[in-house]
Amino acid sequence: MAIIEARDIRKVYGNLEVLHDVDLSVEEGEILGLIGPSGSGKSTLLRILDLIEPPSGGELSVFGTDTVAERSRWLDLRRRMGMLFQRPIVFNASVYDNVAMGLRYRGVSGSDIDRKVKEALDAVGLSRYIKSRATDLSGGEQQRVALSRVLVTDPEILFLDEPTANLDPGSTATIERIVADLNREAGMTVLISTHDLAQGQRLAHRIAVMIEGTVAQAGSPHAVFHEPGSRKIAGFVGVQNIIPGRVVSRQGGLTTVAAKDRRIISATPSPADEVFVVIRGEDISLHRREPGYEEAENLFPARVTAIESMAPFVNVTVDCGCDLVVLMPARRAEALEIHVGMEVWVSLPAKVVHLVPQNGP
């Protein structure tokens, strides 16, 4: 059974609609990544799911409780959840007092608080700062204090609102490791919002993409990153090639699409006549000469027209009748001596060519 079930959630501030038609269900024990551009409503949705603020409309059940009908139980429900915010927020008090806050709110006895706070600080590697003033710590350390402050209350659902947006890679890795361990060992359900696509892929079992105030697509990381549901989602998940085209034939499970002067074969059943061809740059192989043996359905001669550094990768734009961007390691591009004007071959299997309708959402 879903631990969180949201239907048609809507949130309006004044006359600004921040969320509309949000449908989302979260399974117990999973890590759900919420990705989307800034301002797409991720933080607002998390605040609503954590019952910090009520939605303007829709249905929401948490732990199987209908939150609309049982408003008086919000505090009890909220005490079974925890949230970590984007900015490291600590109170101007000792680290100990910061971590103890949630336990004190729950009326836990002094000796239990003592024991749990020490355990929680051990878990995030901050035991030595127990007596320090929390505001004196660095940003990364403050965020770890904030995390242990949440974890000490043993939440069944943990919300993370872009928890590592302001942190250095080291602190980010620590926090990601703690969250992944908790999920694996304690079965904690985790909702993490992030605009760091790589983080979403690393951590999440399932990903929901938010675009302009609603969940545009939810599915496995593979589905979201390789088979995005629309042009906008494809753009957000960093697909380099989104090319308008027209379906010219369908046979044997393969669809042929004409994109400018090139026909590309796709394994996607065609969703419409007018489509966008969606291809990730790393799925295209680039060869110096025509390969003697190639399994890929698409093999085209091409000419290099631009090279753009994306350290440690490069985007190589080639013209093969239509423009394609190939993502490859910079060292490999050097080894192949790729340069503008060079004649090359590109190949791509039909199954990496994804199609979305042009008139879709």
Partner 1 sequence: MDMKTQTRSTDPLPADGEPVAATRWKRERKRYTDWCTLGFCILGGLLVGITVLALANITMAELADPAHLIKIATSSTVIESILLTFGAGASAVLLLIVFGTPLAYILARSRPSRFKGVVESIIDIPLILPHTVAGLLVYLLFMRRGWLGAPLSDIGLAFEDALPGTIVAMLFVASPFYINSMREGFEKVPVHLENVARTLGAGTFTMFRTVSLPLSLRHMYSGAILAWGRAIGEFAGVIMIAYYPFIISTLIYYSFTTDGIRASRSIAFTVILISFGVFYLLRRMTRHLGRYDDRV
How far, CA to CA in Å, does 20 sit from each of 65, 269, 288, 355?
A: 22, 30, 50, 26
Please write down the long-range contacts of 178-187, taking CB distance under 8 Å and 24 or more positions apart: 178/123, 178/124, 178/147, 178/151, 179/31, 179/203, 180/31, 182/151, 182/158, 183/29, 183/31, 187/28, 187/29
Tokens (6 digits) for 87: 């900015």
Backbone dihedral angles phi then psi of residue 331, each to the nearest 5 degrees: -65, -35
Give 14 or 341: the residue with its C-beta nearer to partner 1.
14
Find the shortest distance in angstroms from Cβ 180 to partner 1.
Answer: 21
Give 113 or 324: the residue with its C-beta nearer to partner 1.
113
Find the shortest distance in angstroms from Cβ 104 to partner 1.
Answer: 8
Find the shortest distance in angstroms from Cβ 164 to partner 1.
Answer: 17
Using the structure block, give the residue that is written with the tokens 């696509």.
Answer: 197
Give 117 or 207: the residue with its C-beta nearer to partner 1.
117
Find the shortest distance in angstroms from Cβ 149 to partner 1.
Answer: 7
Q: Which helix (H) or strand (E) holds 116?
A: helix 110-123
Give 21 or 70: the residue with its C-beta nearer to partner 1.
70
Q: Is the dihedral of CA 78, 80, 85, 91 positive or negative?
A: positive
The binding site for partner 1 (CB under 8 A) comprises 14, 47, 50, 52, 75, 78-79, 81-83, 85, 87, 89-92, 101-102, 105-106, 135, 146, 149-150, 153, 159
Angstrom distance (rounded) from CA 139 to CA 146: 10
Tokens (6 digits) for 46: 């998390």
In this structure, which amino acid lies at residue 146?
A
- Nearest residue to 86 via CA among 160, 19, 150: 160
Find the shortest distance in angstroms from Cβ 150 to partner 1.
Answer: 7
Tokens (6 digits) for 275: 């489509």
Report the number of secondary-structure helices (H) and strands (E) in the chain: 10, 20
Find the shortest distance in angstroms from Cβ 116 to partner 1.
Answer: 13
Q: Which helix (H) or strand (E) holds 327?
A: strand 323-329
Find the shortest distance in angstroms from Cβ 139 to partner 1.
Answer: 10
Tokens (6 digits) for 123: 């878990």
Nearest-5° Cα angle at 120, 119 to 123 = 90
Give 135 or 309: the residue with its C-beta nearer to partner 1.
135
Find the shortest distance in angstroms from Cβ 46 to partner 1.
Answer: 10
